[in-house]
Structure 1
Amino acid sequence: MTTRRPLPPPLEIPKPGFGRRTPPALFPPIMGLFGLGLGWRAAAGAFGVSPAIGDLILGATSLLFLFTLAAYLAKPLRRPTAFMEDLRVLPGRAGLSAASLCLMLFAAVLAPMASGVATALALSAFAVHVGLVVAIILTLLRGPEEGRVVTPVFHLSFVGFIIGGVAANALGYHDIARWLLWSMLLPAGLIWGFSARQLLARVPPAPLRPLLAIHLAPACLFTLVAAGAGLETAAYAFSALAASILVALLVAARWLTLAGFSPLWGAFTFPLAAFASALVTLSQGQGALGAIGGVTLVAATLIVPLIAYRVFKLWPGGKLAAKTNAATA
């Protein structure tokens, strides 16, 4: 009679530590919340609404951003290569670009309260974004050729510096804002042109169509920066461009959302908030433009937090990381 050996103890899979798989896809909706708060800050001056609305949104968003940023940084601190792995996938590139742009928006938030801190933060954010763009270029060059196709996410990476113009205007550096405005027109124009050509040549797959909303953001930011820098004629021209893009997106709304909700719906948040903020800032609440801006701001207030909530709801349990192929530390 053979003696039975005791069974080995059950394999215990260690629970992941804090931030081991924080997905970069969390940052685009945070960017949208920042845009919404800045829109309500502009509405306080344009419509005379209570500034507490904007302050509340911006304060809560700032805390959410700092917590999410700390959660994400825990990942590359554990395993530095996780950062480059996130850059290999489209949601990762979009999310990390949005993260560095959130730093610029955070600087704009702090500008009226702590100009010195905001200036230092804006310069740091600009340097971080330069480094990120270099890392993205290296990732694209080392990756497969099909991964080098121009996408709307290129706006976040290569045109995102224009958000520095929003911070520069808030800090009183209008010459820098003008320089950023004119220097970003070329890359934005190239991305719009290549994207239009691709859209005519082939229909993008349904799950990626929400990213097309990003095309609205540069036109809105050009309007904001031009208005803040005193370039009124240019601001109206850019607002007309933004309006035409928004109309096209609204007409194609059913087509854009055909695949149903996904984390990529975060791409809808900032462009919508930025459009509202641009019209409110440009019109100062006056006339038809002010009315459209006010209605859009209210609509954004209903839509942006809802999308942000649904994206963040996928974070616990790793669903969001799995859906966006986020790297694990």
Structure 2
Amino acid sequence: MFQRMPPAVFTPIMGVFGLGLAWRRATDTFSAPGAIGELILGAVTLLYLFSLAAYAMKFMQRSGTFIEDLRVLPGRAGLAAMVLSGYLLSATVEPFSLVLAGAILLLTFAAHVLLALRVIHMLITGPVEARIVTPVWHLLFAGFVLIPLAAVPLGWVGFAEAGFWGGFFAAAIIWGASAAQFLRTRIPPPLRPLLAIHLAPASVLGTGAYLLDETELALVFSVTAIVILSILIGRIRWLLKAGFSPLWGALTFPLAAFGSLMQLGAVVNGSDILRIVAGASLVAATLIILPILYKVVQMWTKGELAVKTNAAMA
């Protein structure tokens, strides 16, 4: 059972975690019913835990499947999302148990460090062709920017600042390398949805800056996120030219992160314009993220997802 569990399913799961947290924040921003966010978070937590158990069963049947999944882009993105979702799970359970939230945060951080080190080893020892910078690198090396979302409510400010700045420098390097690479190479249509991941670090960094009371810095990241999103929207037909694929999961968590950032900016700055943008982005994210998750999970249940993402078999 679960011999070919596809890690690509974790990518939209991470997006739904972000969507649930955005709806939870909407309780303060728009006086939205708190049940909406909690319902989404409860449902996606169950799906996440089930998917974790499924991948653990695959790993126990043959441990080499983990390395094989890391070698392909959809698998690498999925495994990164699997780990990073732990940060969002920590933020999800924080209102109910600080101890559990802290334990999940530390466990996720340890898993994230190990995953990043394993990928670095693969890049160093593997072929030169495999060292091409991709947006998935944001998840692997800049994903530490998610730490403040869980650490600040726990009072772990030092840990939050370390994750924030470490993730920021990694994201800056990846943005620069990606821009230089974009100018000299042509991106195949099937891989273009991954470009949406560039929006995620800017949005999460902005949220983290607000949580750390760095308001001016948060505004810089907010403008950066708005610029990146505007470019993506302006090139949407080019971005999605290949049609639906499991890589559309890369659209989910950046949209959710952007919606949360706009909400926080509207509250902190008392801006009606940001409030309108926040409301529109939350509605758009909901209408985009949930159907993508449904479609990807449907592909999983039919056995199509593993084939299309070249998932390893135990």
Partner of residue 61 from structure 1, selected from 23, 33, 44: 44
2:277 matched to 1:292?
Answer: yes
Q: Which residue of 302, 308, 313 corresponds with 1:317? A: 302
Deviation, structure 1 residue 177 = 1.8
How far off is 1:170 after superposition? Answer: 2.5
Q: 2:151 aligns with which of 168, 172, 187?
A: 168
Identity of aligned pairs, percent? 50
**Residues in 1 aligned to 2:251 and 2:188: alpha-carbon distance in whole angstroms:** 17
Displacement of 1:112 in angstroms is: 1.1
Aligned 8 A contact 2:144 2:166 in 1: no
In 1: Cα distance, 2:312 partner to 2:166 partner: 34
Cα distance in 2, alignment partners of residues 323 and 152 from structure 1: 20
Kindly provide the amino acid, as one letter, of the partner of residue 147 in structure 1: A
Q: Which residue of 2 aligns with 1:230?
A: 213
1:235-294 per-residue CA deviation (whole Å, 9 max, x = no partner) reads: 111100000000000001000000000000000000001100111012127410111011
More deviation, 141-150/289-298: 141-150
Q: Which residue number in structure 2 is paired with residue 269 of structure 1? A: 252
CA deviations over 1:64-121 (Å, ceiling 9, x no partner)? 1000111111111110111111011111110000000011110010111100010011
Kindly provide the amino acid, as one letter, of the partner of residue 306 in structure 1. P
The letter of the residue matching 1:60 is A
Superposed CA RMSD in Å reads 1.0
> 2: CA distance between counterparts of 1:125 and 1:25?
18
Q: Which moved more, 1:232-241 or 1:178-187?
A: 178-187
How far apart, in 2, do the equivalents of 1:56 and 1:286 lie?
Answer: 28
Structure 1 equivalent of residue 88 of structure 2: 105
Give how far 1:144 is off.
Answer: 2.0
Question: Which residue number corresponds to residue 150 of structure 1?
Answer: 133
Indicate if the aligned counterparts of 2:15 and 2:254 stay in contact, CA closer than 8 A: yes
Q: Which residue pairs with 1:116 in the alignment?
A: 99
| Structure with greater helix percent | 2
Counterpart-to-counterpart distance in 2, 1:110 and 1:60:
13
The 5-angstrom pairing of residues 1-329 of structure 1 reads 18-284=1-267, 286-329=271-314
Asked if the contact 2:87–2:105 (Cα under 8 Å) also holds between the matched residues in 1, the reply is yes
How far the C-alpha of 1:143 sits from its partner, in A, is 2.5
Unpaired runs of at least 5, structure 2: none
How many angstroms apart in 1 are the aligned matches of 2:165 and 2:84? 19
CA contact (8 A) 1:112 1:170 kept: no
Deviation of the 1:208 alpha carbon: 0.3
In structure 2, C-alpha distance between the alignment counterparts of 1:227 and 1:276, rounded to whole Å: 14
- The structure with the largest alpha-carbon Rg is 1
**Further displaced range: 23-32 or 180-189:** 180-189
Cα distance change of structure 1 residues 40 and 306 upon mapping to structure 2, 3 Å threshold: same
In 2, Cα distance between equivalents of 1:166 and 1:206: 33
Q: Which amino acid aligns with 2:16?
A: L
- Find the residue that maps to 2:96 and give its secondary structure: coil
Q: Which amino acid aligns with 1:149?
A: I
Count of aligned pairs: 312
Return the alpha-carbon distance in structure 1 between the equivalents of residues 155 and 95 of structure 2.
Answer: 10
Answer whether contact 1:178 1:226 (CA < 8 A) is retained: no
Contact 1:276 1:296 in 2 (8 A): yes
Give me the whole-angstrom Cα distance separating, in 2, the residues matched to 1:175 and 1:227. 15
Q: Distance in 1 between matches of 2:176 and 2:248?
A: 23
> For the residues of structure 1 that align with 2:164 and 2:308, how far apart are their CA atoms?
35
Q: Could you report, residue by residue, the CA deviation over 1:147-173 in whole angstroms, capped at 9, with x for unpaired residues?
A: 110100000000011111211123222
Instruction: Give the aligned partner of residue 15 of structure 1.
Output: none
8 Å Cα contact 2:17-2:85 kept in structure 1: yes
Paired letter, 2:50 = F
Match of 1:9 in 2: none
TM-score, normalised to structure 1's length?
0.93
- How far apart in 1 are the matches of 2:159 and 2:199? 23
Q: Which moved more, 1:134-143 or 1:97-106?
A: 134-143
Equivalent-residue separation in structure 2 for 1:61 and 1:115 (angstroms): 20
What residue identity is the alignment partner of 2:25?
A: A
Bigger mean CA deviation after superposition, 112-121 or 134-143: 134-143
The alpha carbon displacement at 1:27 in A equals 0.4
- Residues 286-316 of structure 1 deviation map (CA, whole Å, 9 limit, x = unaligned): 4101110111001111110001111111112
